[in-house]
Amino acid sequence: MIVIQVIVEGLLLGGVYALFSSGLTLIWGMMNFVNFAHGEFVMLGMFAAFLTMTWVAGGPVLFTIVAAASLFVLGVVVYFALIRYVLDGPIIGQILSTFGLALFLRYAAFFVFSANFVTLPDTYLSGTENVLGIYVSIPKLVGGVVGVLLTIGLHLLLTRTAVGSRILAVAENRDAAMLMGIRPDRMQALAWGLSAALTGVAGAMIAMYYPISYGVGESLALIAFVVVSLGGFGSVPGALLAGILIGVIESLSAYYFGPAFKDVVVYALFVAILWVRPQGLLGTA
């Protein structure tokens, strides 16, 4: 029964991993561009939830909407203010631009919120429930379910809607998309906004059970890169599969070997899988 409990915890954690990693794979799949500030976007989503909760006593629904909306705006602003100017430049310029953005956002948060850890006050989603003998954390359950649903929703948006078709058309061939009347800048800005909004929702979900600090984005970004690489760059279903897989492996590793070794097991398996299949689980060669 304890092992089942651990696996359930891993599944719920993996759903949130998949959510904020799907935003990273969206940007990569559309622009071949890696956003090194992705973890800081999640951190800002956590602080957006904290501020909404403490300033206006907004509950989980409100602070999730605020986090998503504010991060969407930030993503669009970042695209028009920075990304569009380095998108066609050398790869080192792309790397340094978002790496510098990550440092700026991290230490801006440090300046505003200090180095102290903060936590969200209890909400109506706090606590645990006994489900068939398994104690399930309500915040983690909500976060995991929301993460899986939104990741599936992103996949359906890209594959079943006109907007998604335009985004994929720009990703496939920017010049041909322009000839068809599609404005690439608008679609790429939308992609950055959607990516950031997903991280905002993920940040709000994580904030319900994880301490918030200016440096939390660094570790979350590393997880996102592992999930995207393992699932296959540009594959949203791959991000979902890899996120859940890593969540379960983390939980089982912490149970059997201790929390200090969970990252060792995850990254060892990650390297082993990519050794056999470099394009990731659902990526194309």
Residue 58 has pLDDT above 80, yes or no: no
Where in the chain are the domains? 2-276
pLDDT band at 71 (very low <50, low <70, confident <90, very high): very high
Residue 156 has pLDDT above 90, yes or no: yes
Q: 13 or 269, which is more confident?
A: 13
Mean pLDDT, the chain, integer: 87
**Whether 148 contacts 18, CB under 8 Å:** yes
What pTM does this model have? 0.91
Residue 25 has pLDDT above 80, yes or no: yes
Residue 126 has pLDDT above 70, yes or no: yes
Write out pLDDT tens, residues 80-102: 999 988 887 788 888 899 999 99
Sequence-distant (≥ 6) Cβ neighbours of residue 62 within 8 angstroms: 52, 56
Write out pLDDT tens, residues 195-235: 999 999 999 999 988 899 998 988 888 888 888 888 887 78
Q: What is the pLDDT of residue 164?
A: 83
Q: What is 2-276's CATH topology?
A: ABC transporter involved in vitamin B12 uptake, BtuC (1.10.3470)
